[in-house]
């Protein structure tokens, strides 16, 4: 089949919900600054809609949606609201700064199981609430999206009735979500087809789909829905989200781009920004992408088998269905070296999606130079680690690491001597442990007098080789506050200390903010 001309392809809107549904992943909570940073990269990606949060959920979420609405230009800015008027009013209070680009996204569950056990409402009550919610939202903006929560487990006749009613009430987008990741492509295709054929006013609104990945079918289901007539797909970077996650933005977009021969669709996404977006999200949340993840995983363009290597050397298309460059992955793995200057360093960071202040750039450049003297090659992943290590309001650090001395061995008890600065005051102690990392973290805990609990510790190599940087990610919990700490170094003990201290600083910062707000 001949590949269709790009002008003949139907454009599918990309509704990114990384900042809302994606943030609901355990451990993926983001502060306002982090949300804004992700939003700026979504602007670079050129997504059509950014769902910035759930305004009524918390004061922080409200302020984040407001800040994104005030700052981001280009994409529409959406906020999720339940069907109650209080939710909708609060939502528009934050979204109003986006003007005509502001979108109220309101919803109510429509499946029998949700209506009976969660809402304790009859179908007629749910229908009435849906219509009233849309009319309330419509009083603020013509840009209204309505979602039938748990649509795929909803009686089809009732689903069609609700969809028709909310379109009559003014909804310009109707979302048919697979809230619990239950459907399969054939079934989902039939659900969208049913609505297209049985809802008289369906052409007056864009059909949107929002698929979860509980059965690993979110991307496949989204494609099936588009084939049936959906015009918007709701997804997240790296597929993060509730439980098993959401439809992966990069996988869906690249499927359409790669299979234009049989899928007559396109998106407005700048695909060269996909890899930088993926890395940025990992940096902010600490949620690492699995190596074999499609499109953005470390092995997505790696070839180890001899036959594959030979084929790729002869002709890349033998084993690559897309180019690394098309998703923003540079073929030259060596990014910079010890002879590189500040300008080149800054430019490469910008290509990776980082916008640093002059002070932060200077600190990161110093770290880069020091690393370049230790390593033969400096990779993009090394730069990600450097920036992460220097980020997150270093100027407000309560705790700073000065140096570590560790002794250990097969017949010796591990001992760590740690010197730190706490609020600018030098302090030092030594501790024994069940290993060098345990001893080091015990010493830091003793110096800081922290009561935070270390709930997760992960260590990995950022790049290959014996001179590779080690990267450590920790999760710390102190009461209801949970944070991610990250650290990197060619010395894994130092990386562990940095990650632990990074987490303690984030906890201290959160505590200060709570105190300031009281």
Annotated binding site for Mn(2+): 21, 210, 212, 246
CA distance 84 to 104: 12
Give ∠ CA 18-22-28 in degrees, rounded to 5.
115
CA distance 414 to 279: 35
Tokens 């079918």 sit at which residue? 217
CA distance 4 to 187: 27
Q: Which tokens hold the place of 281?
A: 């999200």
C-alpha 111 chain-centroid distance: 29
Nearest to 279 by CA among 380, 199, 186: 380
Nearest to 236 by CA among 214, 217, 210, 256: 210
Q: If you write DSSP's letter for every residue of 340-388 in order, what string do you get?
A: --HHHHHHHHHHTT----HHHHHHHHHHHHHHHHH-S-B-HHHHHHHHH
Nearest to 166 by CA among 146, 150, 184, 180: 146
CA distance 484 to 28: 9
Nearest to 490 by CA among 326, 321, 373, 331: 373
Nearest to 47 by CA among 87, 80, 74: 74
Residue 60 near residue 34, CB atoms below 8 Å: no
Annotated binding site: 21, 210, 212, 246
Q: What angle in degrees, to the nearest 10, is found between the helix axes of 274-285 and 32-45?
A: 170
Sign of CA dihedral 47, 52, 54, 56: negative
Residue 297 near residue 239, CB atoms below 8 Å: no
CA distance 223 to 220: 5
**Interior/surface letters 272-301, b for 16+ CB within 10 angstroms, e for the rest:** ebbbbbbbbbbbbbbbebeeebebbeeebb
Q: Which tokens hold the place of 376?
A: 């033969």
User: Counting beta carbons within 10 angstroms of the beta carbon of residue 194, is it exposed (0 to 12), middle (13 to 18) or buried (19 or more)?
Assistant: middle
Alpha-helix runs per DSSP H in 375-422: 380-390
Those residues with Cβ within 8 angstroms of residue 303's Cβ, 6 or more apart along the chain or in another chain:
309, 312, 319
User: Which residues on adjacent β-strands are paired with residue 456?
Assistant: 475
Give the chain's count of helices (H) and strands (E).
Answer: 16, 16
């Amino acid at each position: 089949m001949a590949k269709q001309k790009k002008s003949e392809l139907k454009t599918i809107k990309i509704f990114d919900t990384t900042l809302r549904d994606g943030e609901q992943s355990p451990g993926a909570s983001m502060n306002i600054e982090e949300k804004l940073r992700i939003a700026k990269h979504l602007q670079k990606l050129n997504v059509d809609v950014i769902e910035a949060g759930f305004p009524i959920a918390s004061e922080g979420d409200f302020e984040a949606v407001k800040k994104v609405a005030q700052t981001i230009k280009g994409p529409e800015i959406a906020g999720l609201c339940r069907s109650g008027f209080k939710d909708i009013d609060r939502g528009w209070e934050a979204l109003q700064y986006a003007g005509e680009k502001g979108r109220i996204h309101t919803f109510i569950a429509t499946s029998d199981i949700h209506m009976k056990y969660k809402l304790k409402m009859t179908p007629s009550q749910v229908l009435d609430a849906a219509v009233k919610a849309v009319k309330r939202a419509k009083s603020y903006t013509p840009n209204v999206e309505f979602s039938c929560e748990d649509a795929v487990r909803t009686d089809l006749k009732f689903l069609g009735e609700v969809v028709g009613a909310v379109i009559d009430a003014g909804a310009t987008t109707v979302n048919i979500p697979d809230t619990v990741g239950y459907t399969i492509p054939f079934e989902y295709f039939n659900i969208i087809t049913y609505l297209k054929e049985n809802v008289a006013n369906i052409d007056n609104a864009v059909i949107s789909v929002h698929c979860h990945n509980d059965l690993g079918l979110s991307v496949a289901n989204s494609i099936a829905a588009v084939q049936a007539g959906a015009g918007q797909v709701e997804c997240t970077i790296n597929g993060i989200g509730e439980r098993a996650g959401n439809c992966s933005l990069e996988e869906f977009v690249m499927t359409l781009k790669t299979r234009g021969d049989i899928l007559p669709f396109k998106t407005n996404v700048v695909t060269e920004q996909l890899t930088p977006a993926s890395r940025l999200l990992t940096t902010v949340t600490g949620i690492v992408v699995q190596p074999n993840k499609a499109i953005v995983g470390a092995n997505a363009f790696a070839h180890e088998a001899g036959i594959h290597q030979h084929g790729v050397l002869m002709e890349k298309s033998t084993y690559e269905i897309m180019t690394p460059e098309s998703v923003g992955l540079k073929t030259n793995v060596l990014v910079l070296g010890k002879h590189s200057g500040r300008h080149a360093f800054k430019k490469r960071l910008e290509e990776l999606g980082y916008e640093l202040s002059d002070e932060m750039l200077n600190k990161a450049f110093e770290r880069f130079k020091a690393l370049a003297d230790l390593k033969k090659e400096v990779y993009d992943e090394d730069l990600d680690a450097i920036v992460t290590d220097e980020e997150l309001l270093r100027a407000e650090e309560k705790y700073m690491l000065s140096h570590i001395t560790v002794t250990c061995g097969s017949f010796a008890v591990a001992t760590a001597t740690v010197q730190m600065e706490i609020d600018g005051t030098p302090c030092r102690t030594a501790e024994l442990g069940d290993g060098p990392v345990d001893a080091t973290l015990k010493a830091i805990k003793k110096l800081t007098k922290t009561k935070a609990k270390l709930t997760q510790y992960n260590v990995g190599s950022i790049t290959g080789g014996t001179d590779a940087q080690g990267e450590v990610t920790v999760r710390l919990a102190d009461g209801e506050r949970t944070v991610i700490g990250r650290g990197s170094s060619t010395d894994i003990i130092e990386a562990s200390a940095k990650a632990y201290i990074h987490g303690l600083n984030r906890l201290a910062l959160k505590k200060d903010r709570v105190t300031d707000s009281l």
